[in-house]
Structure 1
Amino acid sequence: MEITIGHTPDADDAFMFYGMLSGKVTSPHFTIKHVVEDIETLNKRSLKHELDVTAVSAHACAYLKDYTILRSGGSFGKGYGPIIVAKQNLDVDKLRASKIAIPGKMTSAFLLLELMIGKFDYIEMKFSDIPDAVASGKADAGLVIHEGQITYDQKNLMKLFDIGTWWRDSTGGLPVPLGVNVMSNHFGIETIKKFDEFFRESIVYGMARPNEALDYSMQYGRGQAKETIDRFVRMYVNDVTIDMGVLGEQAIRSLFQMGIEKGFVPEFDLRIA
């Protein structure tokens, strides 16, 4: 059967899908049509149930209907995660009173920052525009994701807080749940599990051939040096990506339990394959 897959123009996603989309890993059950959109666009498309399989922010799952989270393909930070940057030092109280540039209200980074500091003033923009917005003074601080977590100092910005460190210390060492992949419940759980295994094989294939997969990922590198992309991919493609396991599932459930308790997300039925 043909299925439509949405993934982001990010090197870690491309690395995961390398085996599948290059045809090096095949399945007797699925043929793939893929679309590439930034994560907040995919979050919004998933609300309309436009894609069979799609990458989404973990946060977005609180608002989705008729999707199941796959066990493979998650982006989990192990002691690190989105960061807050600014031109000058700000404590938590000053940060809360500042205008913070965010990459979207459905991103996991946004929910994590709410959990960390409470409600705050923000301005939404494309994630890649955030460092420039902070450097120019359009925003007082920025919530930075993707390779911007590595390159922010090129804009003469300083890191104020690492949300991943806060999360690790707050949860007893759980990985930071940032991105997941979901599949439509219309396919039924057996088909979902078959695709999950197919995707897992693609991730394992790429991890066994990192140079090949990295070269493929560079087309989504946004002009960054290969060394930067390599470092970013290694941050977010790890053993929890192959299968979230007990700790990954516990991290997702903890994220939503904390969010529900604080009133930041609604109560909902969480489905994990």
Structure 2
Amino acid sequence: MTYPTDTPSAQPSGGRPLRMAYSPCPNDTFTFHAWAHGRVPGAPPVEVTFADIDITNGMAERGELDVLKVSYAVLPWVLDQYALLPCGGALGRGCGPLVLTREPGRDLRGATVAVPSEKSTAYLLFRLWAAATVPGGVGRITVLPFDEIMPAVRDGRVDAGLVIHEARFTYQNYGLHCLADMGEHWEATTGLPIPLGAIIARRSLGEATLKQLAESARASVRMAWDEPEASRGYVLEHAQEMDPAVADQHIGLYVNEFTADLGEDGYAAVHGLLTRAAAEGLVPAIAPDALAYP
């Protein structure tokens, strides 16, 4: 699902606004409200496109935009063109994807599981969990937009669903049960935060611009924390009829210290995820310095 661009930007001197894409989810609109609305001093103007994570992953693989929010899982395919920025993304603790079923304790051996993308961090975490806990493995994987997964599980069209975003707070409304928390498994086996979404920028913009972009993202999230009501209308406008209380929970869980700066633990989490996934044959291996920020 894509959404029309609604954030006008003044044309910067000597060039066009940077083209930026992120999701309409509350954590992204909260984080980038100040930047998108020209409130961050010195930040490059941006033209924003709203798109769900599977769409932005594809945009990055095709090299379509300048700055994008993507899954950490897609990095091995795009790091030749894009650099990982050290801020603006989503990592945390207690915020991992969930596997939902209609019946508690359902055996997933041979089951059909709906996932939001096969190049999502959620999918990598699920595959790593399943390799350790589902003897013989699950059956068929089917990709559905994240907002269609819970209805599909409820209606019996799939046996289980891997959910992200605000589904953590609303799955009981569908009469579903949490079979497993991918974040709990990740944290228990690594001790690291859960890497979910990354902010990347085109390497061809140059080192100075990449640093400016990182500072802009960092300043934007700090302004959001300092003035949370300033972004309220923007958040709720794009939250797809989400209850405001759920939007607040979403922001509280996914916008945290790692959004302002990945830090040592954040980089270790990303490197650990991609290393483990490569060992399982889920993603290509990355070079040792591929995550380095200019």
TM-score (norm 1): 0.95
Please tell me whether the aligned partners of residues 6 and 42 of structure 1 are also in contact (alpha carbons under 8 angstroms). Answer: yes
> How far 1:79 moved relative to its partner?
2.7
Stretches of structure 1 lacking an aligned partner (at least 5 in a row):
none
Match of 2:7 in 1: none
Stretches of structure 2 lacking an aligned partner (at least 5 in a row):
1-14, 132-136
> How far 1:89 moved relative to its partner?
2.1
Match of 2:21 in 1: 6
Is 2:236 the partner of 1:222? no
Is 2:73 the partner of 1:59? yes
Match of 1:138 in 2: 157
- 1:58-100 Cα offsets, whole Å, 9 max, x none, are 0010111311000011111313311011110235xx2142111
> How far 1:4 moved relative to its partner?
0.6
Q: CA RMSD in A?
A: 1.3
Amino acid in structure 2 at the alignment position of 1:98: A
Separation of aligned partners in 1, 2:226 and 2:145: 33
Please tell me whether the aligned partners of residues 67 and 271 of structure 1 are also in contact (alpha carbons under 8 angstroms). Answer: no
Determine helix, strand or coil for the equivalent of 2:42.
coil
Aligned ranges for residues 75-86 of structure 1 at < 5 Å?
Answer: 75-86=90-101
Amino acid in structure 2 at the alignment position of 1:78: R
Separation of aligned partners in 2, 1:10 and 1:80: 15
> How far 1:129 moved relative to its partner?
0.5
Separation of aligned partners in 1, 2:69 and 2:213: 14
- 1:110-144 Cα offsets, whole Å, 9 max, x none, are 01100111353211010000000000001101001
Match of 1:271 in 2: 291
Amino acid in structure 2 at the alignment position of 1:217: V
Amino acid in structure 2 at the alignment position of 1:272: A
> How far 1:216 moved relative to its partner?
2.1
Determine helix, strand or coil for the equivalent of 1:95.
coil
> How far 1:31 moved relative to its partner?
1.7
Q: Which has the higher contact order (CA 8 A, sep 6+)?
A: 1
Amino acid in structure 2 at the alignment position of 1:225: D
Q: List structure 1 runs of 4+ shifted beyond 3 angstroms.
A: none
Is 2:194 the partner of 1:180? no
Determine helix, strand or coil for the equivalent of 2:251.
helix
Give the fraction of aligned pairs with identical amino acids, expressed as a percent.
29
Match of 2:89 in 1: 74
Q: Please, which of 18, 35, 46 is the counterpart of residue 60 of structure 2?
A: 46
TM-score (norm 2): 0.88
Amino acid in structure 1 at the alignment position of 2:42: S
Separation of aligned partners in 2, 1:71 and 1:170: 24
Match of 2:224 in 1: 206
> How far 1:25 moved relative to its partner?
1.4
Q: Please, which of 104, 114, 127 is the counterpart of residue 114 of structure 1?
A: 127
> How far 1:188 moved relative to its partner?
1.7
Separation of aligned partners in 2, 1:272 and 1:137: 44
Is 2:262 the partner of 1:244? yes
